[in-house]
Amino acid sequence: MADSGETDDPAPSVAARDDLAGVVDLFGSVTRAELSRALSELAFKRRTEVDDAAIAAAIDVGVAEYAIVPTPRSAVSVDGDPVDPTDPDDDSTGSDRDPTFLAVGPAAFPQLPEGAEDLPHILDVPDREVDREALSDAVLDRLSADAIDAINAGDTERLETLADVTYDIEAWAPVDAEPIRERILAEIDG
């Protein structure tokens, strides 16, 4: 987990992304607001300070690196029932009004950070199930769109990251990312 300590690298470490994935995995799926609260609670338990900007940055990096992935609301259920889109107590839209949840992504090796085992007792977050087929389709679509954006921007570093993700996603779900990978590698080798 990234903290407010001095560092030359503002991006969280790989372990931090895996810690994020571990927290998400603890509940099956969480909203961005729920993950932010969980990270704040962990910081409090450790008697450290983490500001909201550091938490948001850690989540953004986790999403960008495919350690945690946006999950369509339609792919999330609680006790077999779909998440109610009209629930007034549902904060899944959070401050950014993003109507998605977050789930463990293909580039993660989820690990529970110290003290996280108490989070289900601290937070009022239900255990959620995620439809893996719907999630893998959404992640593959996002990977394709991200690849096109990186190609159009000429962002070789991003393309290299996405090339790695094409291998990760094939190990993570029964999808074929080879066409995306070939396009990325052709652009990198260009």
pLDDT in tens, 48-99: 887 889 899 999 999 999 999 999 999 999 988 888 654 444 544 444 444 5
* Model confidence pLDDT, tens digit, residues 33-43: 999 999 999 88
77 DSSP β-pair partners:
82, 129
Tokens encoding 43: 């910081």
Q: What is the model's pLDDT at position 171?
A: 96
**63 in Cβ contact with 138 (< 8 Å):** no
Contact 130, 75 (CB under 8 A): yes
Residues 102, 29: contact at Cβ < 8 Å?
yes
Q: Rounded to two decimals, what is the model's pTM?
A: 0.84
Give the 3-state secondary structure of residue 33: helix
Instruction: Name the residue ranges covered by the structural domains of the chain.
Output: 1-130, 131-190
- Percentage helix, strand, coil for the chain under 3-state DSSP, each rounded to 5: 55, 10, 35
Range 109-134 burial, b when 16+ CB lie within 10 A, else e: ebeebeebeebeeebebeebebbeee
Q: Which of 88, 108, 79 is nearest to 17 (CA)?
A: 108
